[in-house]
Structure formats: structure tokens, C-alpha cells
Amino acid sequence: MTNTASPMQINGTLIDDTFAEAFPMKATRLVITAHTPVWAKHAAQSLTGFATSVIGCGCEAGIERELGSEETPDGRPGIAVLLFAVSSKELAKQIERRVGQCVLTCPTTAIYSGIDPATSAAPRSDDAALGKNLRFFGDGWQISKMIGTTRYWRVPVMDGEFVCEETAVTVKGVGGGNLLLLGADIDAALAAAEAAAAAMRALPNVIMPFPGGVVRSGSKIGSKYAGATASTNDAFCPTLTGLAKKSELTAEVGCVMEIVIDGLTDSDVGAAMTAGIAAAAARGRAAGVLRISAGNYGGKLGPYHFHLHEMAAAVGQKRA
């Protein structure tokens, strides 16, 4: 629950004395390359589609950043994407389906594992099949090539060859970091959310999986209806202010936007949240950004706790 007994403000925006609660997930980075940046982006957008929440999508995925030709294994323009799932088995299933349907099918593309276990701060998990199974699409015409200790598959397709690394390195990631941005109206809350998402997007190793990085349908666990695992977060719904028993809002709050953050490590999620707080609070109360809060489950379900006052203090130190 939110506790504002120790008020903290940045530019007049109140920072709630609360924390975001995040959970262990399995994660991977995939590098998609293509003949032009446009086709790499087409494949990346398709692969990361319908991947906002594990509640209904099987995984959470998003574009991490664009890559120059000097950063990719084959010297072509590329895009790095991150995928997160609740288990290694589910992550492997999502990788195979999404790569098979969205990258193999896309003109001129190739795909590679994007995590170097020698330099990654995230603990390694079970590797997932990439080209290992997709190679069978070649119907016996596929061939393999070893470069160092890494195996690649070359699958004949109608524009030439689809090149695919045999396996993808997966790691233990963190999902569910979040910020709740409380504004005086839709314009204020949306502008704050857009600024926060843009600031987070500039950092490595994180994604914000919802559309544009922002979600308006924040949820709580459970429902009054049998069979529903999640339902609207009534405590932060402005139309329920004064009606919901546990409403967290005052009459001046007209809109709430949430940003959910997944990262390869808890440090990555914390850095993104700090950047988001700084960007949203920079607009300040004068721009209608009234409060910044976060969602949690009392600390009972997720081992990663991101305290807003600690991050807000870091924002103040950076500005000083």
C-alpha cells in the first residue's frame, strides 16, 4: 500500500513512499539483421507483436535498440529484441514460434543469439533452440557451418538463404518493474508517460512491452468473477475515486498511466525506473504531474523491490 508519511517531492511532484515489486523471469536477446534497416525493423516489429504481458501473451517482448552494421555478426543493419517468459520452456516455445513465423518469413533477414555469456551480468540459464529446429524447414537442403565453437544453419529460401544461429543464450531476467504516473488530466499523464518511456528506452538491457511503453489498464491479482486471474486496478481508476474502498486517488487526479519494465538484471530495471522518475518529474506539478507511485503485492510475491524514495534521492543527487 502507498504510504506518504514521509513526503518527498521533485518539482512539486509528490513521490510516494512505496516500492515496485518485480519477479524472476527467463530472458534472451535476439539480433535480427537484414539487407536494409527497414526490413530488419519489419521482422522485429512482427516478432515482438502481441507480447505485452505473460498473463495473456505467453511472453513479454520489445525492441531494445537499432544496431549499426559494425555491431552485428554479419555486418548488416540490425535490431536487438528482448523476450521474457515465466519459464525456460515457455521462452523456448515463444522463440521458435515467433522466429519461425516472423523472421524466417521476412525478406532478407538472418537471426543470431545476442547475449555473450562471458560479459553478461545476468546469470545464464538453459539455452533455447533457434536454428536447431527451424533448419528442418529446409527439407533436407539445409546445411550447417561452424565458426569457432558456434554452429549456424543456412536454409534455402526464395530470396537466397536464411541464416540462423543454432541456439540462443538465455539468462535469468527480471520482470514487472513499474511506475504509476498520476496526472491532473489525460494530457498531463500521457506527456509524463511518453517522456519517461523515452528516457528508459535510451538505456540498454530493458524493454517496456506495452504499446508505446505505456499501459492504461493496470491490473491487480484476482477478480470477483470466477476464473479471472486479473482485473482492473480499481485503486488507481479515477472514475472510481470515492467509490472503491481502497482508492489511492484524490479528486484532483484525472488520469493514471503505468509503465512496466523488464530487464536483464535488477540493476537494469532500477536504472530504467530512476530515469523514468527523472523524466516525468522534470515536467513537474506545474505541468499537471501530481504524483509518482508504483504497484506491489506487499513484498510477498516478488524478491525484487524498487523503492521510489531511494531512486528519487538518486535523481536529486544527479541534478545537484
Q: Report pLDDT digits (tens) over 232-290.
A: 999 999 999 989 888 999 999 999 999 999 999 999 999 999 999 999 999 999 999 99
Give exposure, 282-320, as e/b (b: 16+ Cβ within 10 Å). Answer: bbbbebbbbbbbbbbeeeeebebebebeebbeebeeeee
Flag whether pLDDT at 2 surpasses 50.
no
What letter would DSSP give residue 128?
A: E
The predicted structure's pLDDT at residue 317: 66
Instruction: Indicate the range of 60-74, 92-106, 291-305 predicted with least confidence.
Output: 291-305
Could you tell me which of 51, 102, 111 has the C-alpha nearest to residue 78?
Answer: 111
Flag whether pLDDT at 126 surpasses 60.
yes
The predicted structure's pLDDT at residue 184: 98
The predicted structure's pLDDT at residue 83: 98
- Give the dihedral of Cα atoms 300, 304, 310, 312; nearest 10 deg: -100
Domains of the chain with bracketed CATH: 9-22+174-319 (3.30.70.520), 26-171 (3.30.70.520)
- Cβ–Cβ < 8 Å for 238, 253: yes
pLDDT more than 70, % of the chain: 97
* R_g of the chain, CA atoms, integer Å: 21
- Cβ–Cβ < 8 Å for 289, 181: yes
State the pairing for strand pair 60-67/19-33: unpaired
Q: How many Å apart are CA 181 and CA 15, to the nearest integer? A: 10
Flag whether pLDDT at 229 surpasses 80.
yes
State the pairing for strand pair 150-157/143-147: antiparallel
What letter would DSSP give residue 20?
A: E
Per the prediction, the chain carries an average pLDDT of: 95
- Would you place residue 25 in the very low, low, confident or very high pLDDT band (cuts 50, 70, 90)? very high
More confident residue, 4 or 69: 69
Q: 239: Cβ–Cβ under 8 A, 6 or more apart, which residues?
A: none
C-alpha cell belonging to residue 203: 538505456
- Cβ–Cβ < 8 Å for 221, 297: yes
- Would you place residue 6 in the very low, low, confident or very high pLDDT band (cuts 50, 70, 90)? low
C-alpha cell belonging to residue 192: 509524463
Q: In this structure, is the dihedral angle defined by the CA atoms of residues 237, 242, 244 and 245, taken in order, positive or negative?
A: positive
What's the Cα-to-Cα distance from 169 to each of 115, 164, 234, rounded to whole Å?
6, 13, 39
The predicted structure's pLDDT at residue 4: 42
Q: In this structure, is the dihedral angle defined by the CA atoms of residues 38, 40, 43 and 48, taken in order, positive or negative?
A: negative
Q: How many Å apart are CA 254 and CA 94, to the nearest integer? A: 38
- Cβ–Cβ < 8 Å for 276, 200: yes
Q: Report pLDDT digits (tens) over 165-174.
A: 999 999 999 9
Q: In this structure, is the dihedral angle defined by the CA atoms of residues 70, 74, 80 and 85, taken in order, positive or negative?
A: negative
Kindly report the number of other CB atoms within 10 A of residue 158's CB atom: 5
Flag whether pLDDT at 320 surpasses 50.
no
State the pairing for strand pair 13-15/289-293: parallel
Instruction: Indicate the range of 47-56, 189-198, 226-235, 273-282 predicted with least confidence.
Output: 226-235
The predicted structure's pLDDT at residue 301: 82
Flag whether pLDDT at 1 surpasses 70.
no
pTM of the model: 0.94
Question: What do you get for the CA distance between the two ends of the chain, in Å?
Answer: 31
Q: How many Å apart are CA 105 and CA 102, to the nearest integer? A: 6
Look at phi and psi of residue 83 and say left if phi exceeds 0, alpha if psi is from -120 to 50, else beta.
beta
